Every structure is written in C-alpha cells, then in structure tokens.
Amino acid sequence: MPEANDFIRQIIADDRLSPSFEPPVHTRFPPEPNGYLHLGHAKSICLNFGVAKEFDGLCNLRFDDTNPVKEDMEYVNAIRDDVRWLGGNWEDREFYASNYFEKLYAYAEKLIELGCAYVDDLSQEEIRAMRGTLTEPGKESPYRTRSVAENLDLFRRMRAGEFPDGSRVLRAKIDMSSPNIVMRDPTIYRIRHAHHQRTANDWCIYPLYDFAHCLSDSIEHITHSLCTLEFVNNRELYDWILDTLGVYHPKQIEFARLNLTHTILSKRKLIQLVQEKHVTGWDDPRMPTLCGLRRKGVPPEAIHAFCKRIGLARSDSTVEYAMLEFCIREYLNEHAPRLMAVLDPIHVIIDNYPDDQVEYFTMPLFPEDPSFGTREVPFAKHLVIERDDFRENPPKKFHRLSKGAEVRLRYAYLITCTDVVTGSDGTIKELHCTYDPESRGGQAKDGRKVKGTLHWLSANHAKKAVVRLYDQLFTKANPEDVEPGQTFIDNLNPHSLTLCDALIEPELHTLPVGKTVQFERVGYFCKDPDSTEDCAVFNRTATLRDSWAKQEKKGE
Ligand code: ATP
Ligand code: MG
C-alpha cells in the first residue's frame, strides 16, 4: 500500500477500500496537442502516472483533440517524447478524444431525446450577453423550447454540413438561473468546417471540452480524473452530463496548478515567445518546456524530485525557481561525471618543465565513485587556468594563485607563480611558474600544506568550445507584473544568454550529445546538438552556487 502523503492519494486509498470500488485505479494524462509540454504538465504527468504506478493501476495518454484549428501532429509527437522521457508508460493505451466522436455524437442525440439539450440559433455574442453575471441570473434563449423532433432534425443537419460556422450550437438544457454560470445552458457542440488532423473532413461539428472530457473519462473507465483548480466550477457540469446520461461516472478531483517564479507556464504565451523569436525555438534551454529543459541538460529524475518536493495542494501558490535549481543540482551532484574546462583562460608557462614532454594523469570521472571510471588527461609545459583564479593583488585568505604563492593543479603538480607578464593595455598576458617535480599527484613530499586547488588544461591539447551561460528568461519573479501598456514580453531578461569561448579537455570534445557533466569548480553543462567536429557547444544546466559559496568561504 503506497504512502498517502497528499490529499489525492488519501482519497484514492480510501476509495479502494469501498466495496463498490472496481479495481484497477485508472488515471489519464489528457494534453491538448496545441503546444509543447511544460513544467506544469510535468506536475500532472508525475501525479497521474505516479498514482497509477503506486496503486498498481493504469494511466492512459489521451490527446484532447477536440479543436481542429489549433492542433497539430508535430505537437502529438513532441508530447509522446516528453511523457516517455519523464517515464510515463501508457503501454497500448494511447487514445484521442477524436476516437470517440461517433460515440459523443450519439450521447448528444440522447441528451436531446431526454429533453436535456437544444439547438440554439443565437450567435456566440448573444449567448454571452444573455448568460448573466455572478449576481444576476441569465436569460433563456427563445429557441430553448424547441421540440425534441425539431432539435434532432436540426442537430442532424448541423452534422450533415447544412449550416455555416457560428450559425447554430447545441446547448445542454440545465438552468439559466444557476448560481454556477457554467451550468447556464453551456454550449456542447459547435459548427466548425475545418480539417481535423485525425478525422480529416469527416466532421463539421465538434464537441466542446466540457462535454468531450467527462465522457472520454467515462468511456475509458477512468476512476480518478485529476485536474487543476480552474475546473472546480466545471465539476458540477461534469457530474451532470454523466448522471443525466446514466453512464459510468469517474471522480473528478482538483489540485493546484504549478506556478513558478521568473517563468510563464501557459502554452499560448510560450507559442508567442517562439513565434516572435524571443527564443530560438520550443527547445531553447531557457524555455520551461520539457524539451527545453532536456536540451539544457536537466535529468528527468530532477523533475520528479521537484514535483515530489512541491507536493499537492488545494490552493494556488507560486514556487521559487530556485527550488527547481536545487533539485537539479542535488541530482547532478551525485550523478554527473567531473571533467575540466576553462571558461576564461589565462596562459601559464611552467618554466622548469621540459619543453616537449607530455605526461598523462589518470583522473577519476567521479572522485567518490570509482565505478564511473577514469580518463587520461595530458599535462605539458604550456597550460591554461581560469583568469579569475589569479590575482595580482590577492585579498587576505586568497588561496588561489598570486605571485609567489603555491597552488595545486588538480591531480597533477604543485606550482608556484614566479612572474607575471602584462600587456601594454594592462591585461595579464601570461604567468610564469615553476613546478615541484616531487609533487606528482598533487602532494608535496615534505608534507607542506597547500590549500588551493585549481582546474587546468594543457594549452596545446585543449579543444575549443562555445559555452552558453543561461540566466532567467524574465527579470521579474512574476513576468505578468507590468506597467500599463506593457506585456510580459517587456519583462524579458536581455541578459538571459551569454556566450563564452572556452577550452575543454579532449574527453569533453568526444562526449556524446545530450550528456550532462560537471565542469569542475564551474558548473553543470550539457553537450548541445549544435556541436560540430571543430567546436563543441555546451549549455549550462546549473551553476554550482551552493558548493561554490562554501568554497569561497573556505577561501579556496
Ligand atoms: P496551458 O494553460 O499551458 O495552455 P492547459 O491546461 O490548457 O495548459 P492541457 O494540454 O489542457 O494544457 O493540459 C493537460 C493536463 O496538464 C491537464 O490535466 C492540466 O490540468 C495539466 N496542467 C496544465 N498546466 C498545468 C500546471 N501549470 N500545473 C499542473 N497541471 C497542469
Ligand atoms: Mg487546456
């Protein structure tokens, strides 16, 4: 029995004990294929597939493809990839609301026959105007009293394509004075002479979400239909349709949607970012899309850990982006191999090292876990280190390199800086150092303590790379917080991407695309598909901020 650590799992656990419950627990993830999946969807995927797994149940993937105008096969394929990437397994249960168009149509006719639906000739604007408000009841349509026979005839002719778009709709006949506006004779079918990606031109009328969704759940024998809070008011309609038709009735339960600081989680707005080219595409690593996060190097396990940590609530809140970064760092800290790259190189010459000598050091890919294996790293007279690891005027307790100081080159030798060569513009051109030949491996024979350890590369063996340093896509925690006349676009961070020419160890040059590693002391980076034979491209997945802060404190 799984732990009931949130209110949804508690409800399901209780339901399973009821004598009328028919196993298995059955959930579904119901995306509309009108955009790419984002982190909000990840929350729903982790919940629906997670619950199914924990309760020995099943979870379907159902495409809610009831709107032929905005939907596309490109999105269907991308959604499949993303759900699979997060570990969602729907086996052979890939369904489409459009699979049920014939059944849904039959249910609509049945509602008409029951006197519970009618064809309305009012325009959409008129219907809206007559709907009433929270304080005023709505007005009944003059077409509300049509006979069953007339409604059936008109609805069949709607299906046969006799009427133009927008000329008529089918509405459920419920209650125009219901305190719940959703129940004021909602539209359940509309005319749309449009090509559908799966049913082509078979249909010119399409069911609306509220009608298609509950009945799709019912047809698939979903036991628990988990959705976000904005559907609380729609639950009454969900229940009404199923009860009126007397069909199998899943339980709808609402939970709070995920909101994340510095991010937009709305497909409509993400589409705008792509179409207006504020980002390079859906999979731009700055996007909160699952394909963007994947390209950035975020492992699916980190997203699962994140979803677990934020939990499920019954009221909306906003999660700090830093929480996601924490989960990414926490996972990669334990799983990412460590290699060396120098982002802002400064040339180091080891004066007492033989000119043409090259030594190879066997370095662990993960110091704490030998099962990761090792690689050979070349060492020679000409090296590079990080420019920031040298100071002409070092502050107190600076344990990195400065003139006269001794540091350890990671796994290699102890070196001491003897001279600094400065160019005419004042910038440092190169550092001259000596090495202690007795310190192979990085330890002094005489036992003297050397605190600082730097990463380094052999200048002539290092390969070129372009490194993309990403920052938040939006400057404000809430991108919707705008001045009058502005939109969220005005809150885009102009510095969300910084490119940097870096040097990397040879092993990183041959690393497979899509692999995330730690550049020691620098951060986590993922090899990008834009990499070429000549130049690797790496995306920064996350900084080392936490451990870095600690190192700085220790003065390393
Ligand atoms: P958007 O607002 O981005 O257009 P949507 O809700 O219209 O999203 P759907 O494709 O209909 O997108 O969503 C599929 C499933 O994912 C639904 O069950 C929905 O409740 C869930 N979902 C979407 N956004 C979030 C979110 N931010 N947090 C949690 N679940 C979400
Ligand atoms: Mg939706």
Please name which of 447, 444, 427, 423 lies closest in space to residue 435, comparing C-alpha atoms.
Answer: 444
Structure tokens at 528: 């990008």
Residues 237 and 95 in one domain: yes
- Which residue owns the Cα nearest ligand 1 atom 24? 40
Q: Please give the number of the atom of ligand 1 that sits closest to the Cα of 228.
A: 20
How deeply is 264 buried, as exposed, middle or buried, from its count of CB atoms within 10 A (0-12, 13-18, 19+)? Answer: buried
On whether residue 80 sits in a domain, the answer given is yes
Determine, yes or no, domain membership for 526. Answer: no
Where residue 22 sits, what CATH number does that domain have?
A: 3.40.50.620
Same domain, 248 and 348: no
- Provide φ and ψ at 47, rounded to 5°: -70, -55
Residues 347 and 250 grouped into a single domain:
no
Share of the chain residues as helix, strand and coil, in percent rounded to the nearest 5: 30, 25, 45
Count structural domains, the chain. 2
CB 76 within 8 A of CB 63: yes
Pocket lining: 234 vs ligand 1, CB cutoff 6 Å: no
Question: From the candidates 257, 269, 403, 451, which is the catalytic residue?
Answer: 257
Q: Which ligand is nearest to the CA of 63?
A: 1
Token digits of residue 280: 């390079």
Q: Does residue 314 lie in a domain region?
A: no
**Of the residues 203, 232, 255, the one at which a domain ends:** 255
Q: Which atom of ligand 1 is nearest to the CA of 257?
A: 28
State whether 173 and 50 are in the same domain: yes
Classify residue 296: in a domain, yes or no.
no
- Residues 249 and 346 both lie in one domain: no
Residues 81 and 181 in one domain: yes
Position 550 in a domain: no
> Do both 36 and 167 map to the same domain?
yes
Of 404, 430, 455, which residue sits at a domain end? 455
Other beta carbons less than 10 A from residue 125's beta carbon: 9
Q: Is 66 in the pocket of ligand 1 (CB under 6 A)?
A: no
Q: Is the CB of 257 under 6 A from ligand 1?
A: yes
Say if residue 237 is in the same domain as residue 378: no
Q: Is residue 426 part of a domain?
A: yes
Domain boundary among 455, 486, 509: 455
Enter the pTM of the model. 0.94
Q: How far is the CA of 83 from the centre of ligand 1 (A)?
A: 13
Provide CB contacts within 8 A for 439, sequence distance 6+.
Answer: 408, 413, 414, 445
R_g over Cα of the chain: 31
The reply to whether 349 and 240 lie within a common domain is no
Domain containing residue 160? 7-255
Cβ(226)–Cβ(48) below 8 Å: yes
The DSSP element (H or E) to which 292 belongs, if any, is helix 290-296
User: To which residue do tokens 């003059």 refer?
Assistant: 142
pLDDT tens, the chain, 556 aa long:
556 689 999 999 999 999 999 999 999 999 999 999 999 999 999 999 999 999 999 999 999 999 998 878 999 999 999 999 999 999 999 999 999 999 999 999 999 999 999 999 999 999 999 999 999 999 999 999 999 999 999 999 999 999 999 999 999 999 999 999 999 999 999 999 999 999 999 999 999 999 999 999 999 999 999 999 999 999 999 999 999 999 999 999 999 999 999 999 999 999 999 999 999 999 999 999 999 999 999 999 999 999 999 999 988 889 999 999 999 999 999 999 999 999 999 999 999 999 999 999 999 999 988 899 999 999 999 999 999 999 999 999 999 999 999 999 999 999 999 999 999 999 999 999 999 999 999 999 999 999 999 999 999 999 999 999 999 999 999 999 999 999 999 999 999 999 999 999 999 999 999 999 999 999 999 999 999 999 999 999 999 975 433 444 444 4
Any ligand 1 atom below 6 A from CB of 43: yes
CATH value at residue 391: 2.40.240.10
The token duo for 409 is 């080159």
Pair (228, 355) in one structural domain: no
Claim to verify: residue 24 and residue 135 sit in the same structural domain: yes
Helix-helix angle 39-54:300-310, to 10 degrees: 80
- Cα–Cα distance between 293 and 287 in angstroms, integer? 7
Is 520 part of any domain?
no
Is residue 328, in this structure, part of any structural domain at all? no
Query: Which atom of ligand 1 is least distant from the CA of 267?
Result: 3
Rounded (10°) CA dihedral 71, 72, 73, 79? -60
Question: Is the same domain home to 237 and 353?
Answer: no
Look up residue 292 and give its two tokens.
């963007």
CB atoms within 10 A of CB 25: 21
Taking the CA atoms of 82, 84, 90 and 94 in sequence, report the sign of the dihedral they define: positive
Token pair 């008129």: residue: 126
**CB 172, CB 186: distance < 8 Å:** yes
